[in-house]
Amino acid sequence: MTSEVFRVIHTADWHLGKILHDQDRHDEHARFLSFLLKTIKERHIHALIIAGDIFDSTTPPPIALRLYYEFMAEVYHTTKCAIVVTSGNHDSPAHLEAPKEVLKALNIHVIGTVPQDIHDALIFLPSREDPQLAIAALPFLRDKDLRTSYFGESQDEIRANIQNGIRKRYHDIGEAANQNRSNHTAVIATGHLTVLGACKSESERDNIHIGGLGTVNTDVFPELFSYVALGHLHRPQKVGGQEHLRYSGSPIPLSFSESSDKKEMRLLEFSKGKLINNESIDIPPVRQLFQLKTTYDDLEATLNNFQPEPSEFTHWVELIIKADDSLGSFHEMIEKMTIDKPYKVIKTLIESTSDSQGMRIAESQTSHASGDLLGNPQEVFMQRLDQAGIIDADERENLATAFTELYDLVLNDRLATFKDRT
């Protein structure tokens, strides 16, 4: 029987291919993956868990795919670390699972959809014959995984069926894990969902289930689980005051609402079937995001007085200006004021002094010519909301939920048509 400490890193929500207001994040992601690889080597990590949203869209750009596969290959060639990948609501399960059998030969285990036999979602490490760890690798659970829809269902009935379906999935896989483990085997579960009491940020488009009906209590997770590796929410946090229920958070800030967040991943250590260490590993910031609020009269002074520490990567700023709506665009003025600054204003919001106008996106921020957006319909939709001046978080969340669900229906219909033809 293996007796050494078994070390695991929990991370999630990479969102490779992410574009923030027409700005590419590739270099930031590449720097994070270099840090992750270095950590795996230095800490002698046995397993890496990525709990969903590896990509930012179901059709990631080639540069994001290349970064993903090059990282996987480098881990295989330079370490003995196993990798467990589960899909999130932004990922295409079919796309993730397409190379599944090839990746398995590289000690990379991919669970994009819930398998028909729940035992197939159990991953035993370092081996099935002598496991120190059993990973109950559940991906993002879609409606079809949880319930059968009926015409005329009330919202309360839908909510109850979804939540009961999630609870059943976790208890079923918990029972399966318990049947196949020994006393020296710890059990981890993965999840990509919203747990009641957790704190969201602006960048999560809560398209998990209609209207947030899939939000669950902590009691959906059986006590058998030594740790639950969660994804979907981008702020690192424990849930319900329980140290073993954790969102690792995203490795880079994905929206300006995360500008003050400290990014981390979790280091877990197991021995003799128990979790003996659960600590954070801080991820070095590559580029910082800032939010600045000012008035039209104080604009120049605000920009001159803002002096963040220079860094290798130019800082990005979201500027909110309270001004008369009739003044129009401040694009050229802002460019001249910031030309020699160690930061770049990539988004400007005009908060009108007229009660009827509310907030609008400045004209200079609505031109998105990047070809990368052609493969990212969700991002196009979010930028269309920007152009329409829709910035209320709840309204954006509801519209994004509806769009993503409609988009999923279209994709699933196309996939079914393709399968019928072939």
For every residue of the chain, which 3-state class applies, written as one string?
A: CCCCCEEEEEECCCCECCEECCEECHHHHHHHHHHHHHHHHHCCCCEEEEECCCECCCCCCHHHHHHHHHHHHHHHHHCCCEEEEECCCCCCHHHHHCCHHHHHCCCEEEECCCCCCHHHHEEEECCCCCCCEEEECCCCCCHHHHCCCCCCCCHHHHHHHHHHHHHHHHHHHHHHHHHCCCCCCEEEEEEECCECCCCCCCCCCCCCCHHHCCCECHHHCCCCCCEEEEECCCCCEEECCEEEEEECCCCCCCCHHHCCCCCEEEEEEEECCEEEEEEEEECCCCCCEEEEEEECCCHHHHHHHCCCCCCCCCEEEEEEEEECHHHCCCHHHHHHHCCCCCEEEEEEEEEECCCCCCEEECHHHCCCCCHHHHHCHHHHHHHHHHHCCCCCHHHHHHHHHHHHHHHHHHHHHHHHHHHHHC
Per-residue model confidence as pLDDT tens digits over 286-320: 999 999 999 989 999 999 999 998 888 999 999 99
Two structure tokens written together for 292 = 């600045």
Task: Among 99-103, 180-184, 227-231, name the one with the lowest average pLDDT.
Answer: 180-184
Average of per-residue pLDDT values in the chain: 84
Amino acid 246: pLDDT: 96
Amino acid 364: pLDDT: 43
- Residue 407 pLDDT class (50, 70, 90 cuts): low
Task: Among 34-43, 120-129, 159-168, name the one with the lowest average pLDDT.
Answer: 159-168
Per-residue model confidence as pLDDT tens digits over 196-218: 877 766 555 544 544 444 578 88
Q: What is the residue whose two structure tokens read 């079919």? A: 94
Average pLDDT over residues 245-265: 93
- Residue 153 pLDDT class (50, 70, 90 cuts): low
Amino acid 210: pLDDT: 43
Cβ neighbors of 167 (< 8 A, separation 6 or more) are: 216, 219, 220
β-strand partners of 175: none
Rounded CA-CA distance 67/72 in Å is 9
**Does residue 273 or residue 386 have the better pLDDT?**
273
- Residue 225 pLDDT class (50, 70, 90 cuts): very high
Q: Is the pLDDT of residue 399 over 50?
A: yes
Amino acid 170: pLDDT: 95
Q: What is the residue whose two structure tokens read 């129009």? A: 328
Report yes or no: 383 and 413 within 8 Å, Cβ to Cβ.
no
Q: Which CATH number fits the domain 6-282, given the four candidates 1.20.810.10, 3.60.21.10, 2.60.40.10, 3.90.79.10?
A: 3.60.21.10
Amino acid 92: pLDDT: 92
Average pLDDT over residues 360-367: 48
Two structure tokens written together for 253 = 């800030």
Cβ neighbors of 401 (< 8 A, separation 6 or more) are: 205, 206, 207, 210, 211
Q: Is the pLDDT of residue 129 over 50?
A: yes
User: How many Cβ atoms sit within 10 Å of the Cβ of residue 398?
Assistant: 16
Two structure tokens written together for 230 = 């969660």
Amino acid 34: pLDDT: 98
Measured CA to CA in angstroms, residue 344 lies from 20, 186, 347, 380 at distances of 13, 47, 9, 22
Q: Is the pLDDT of residue 253 over 70?
A: yes
- Residue 146 pLDDT class (50, 70, 90 cuts): confident
The phi and psi torsions of 340 (rounded to 5 degrees) equal: -110, 15
Per-residue model confidence as pLDDT tens digits over 324-348: 766 666 788 898 999 989 899 998 8
Per-residue model confidence as pLDDT tens digits over 4-60: 899 999 999 999 999 998 899 999 999 999 999 999 999 999 999 999 999 999 999
Amino acid 367: pLDDT: 42
Cβ neighbors of 134 (< 8 A, separation 6 or more) are: 122, 123, 124, 125, 177, 180, 181, 185, 186, 187, 188
